[in-house]
Amino acid sequence: MNRLNKIKYVLGACIILLATSCKPDEPVTESEQELAFALLAGNWTLQSNSSIVVDGQDITLNFPGFALSFTRGGYTTTNAGDLFSPTGTWTWDDVSAGSLTLDDGKVVTINTLDLSTFKFSFSFAGTGGVANGIGGNYVITIEK
């Protein structure tokens, strides 16, 4: 083999080795929690298709201007009576992002979460007075 053929052979072998040793980029996959937080983050309010229902009874009118806002690990509420603290923290309950726990120990089950609707449920012991939140099983539907 002449010198030029040897160089071509070595270069060709190097190219083949490099091409076969490189793995294609693996797609970046986000966790269930990351995907859910992307939908959860932001401001949620009572709108035309929203409701606050306790044990099957619609009590939406008792919470005018109700709003709930989520940031990573934190939340704020407006006009929530005693259902929620004005501000607090939260954590995911499980890796599937099907529920979260608030700093007061309340476990919130996510029934629906998409770009425009957040429907969730929880139990509340009640503090007296309808406007503050009577005890029972709540289902709240709010919108962005």
Q: What is the pLDDT of residues 25-72, one digit of tens each?
A: 666 567 999 999 999 999 999 999 999 999 999 999 999 999 999 999
Reported as a single tens digit per residue, the pLDDT across 91-111 is: 999 999 999 999 999 999 999
Specify if 69 maps to a domain: yes
Specify if 47 maps to a domain: yes
pLDDT band at 131 (very low <50, low <70, confident <90, very high): low
**Mean pLDDT score, 77-82:** 95
Domain that holds residue 62: 32-143
Specify if 22 maps to a domain: no
CATH of residue 83's domain is: 2.40.128
Measured between alpha carbons, how far is 122 from 108 in angstroms, rounded to an integer?
Answer: 5
Q: What is the pLDDT of residue 122?
A: 97
Distances in whole angstroms, Cα of residue 104 to Cα of each of 44, 68, 87, 94? 20, 16, 11, 18
Q: What is the pLDDT of residue 134?
A: 85
**Mean pLDDT score, 132-142:** 90
List of residues 6+ apart from 141 with CB closer than 8 A: 49, 50, 51, 112, 117, 118, 119
Reported as a single tens digit per residue, the pLDDT across 116-125 is: 999 999 999 8
Specify if 14 maps to a domain: no
pLDDT band at 20 (very low <50, low <70, confident <90, very high): low
pLDDT band at 11 (very low <50, low <70, confident <90, very high): very low
Specify if 8 maps to a domain: no
* CA torsion, ordered 62, 65, 138, 59, to nearest 10 deg: 30
Specify if 21 maps to a domain: no
Number of compact structural domains in the chain: 1
Token pair recorded at residue 15: 């190219």
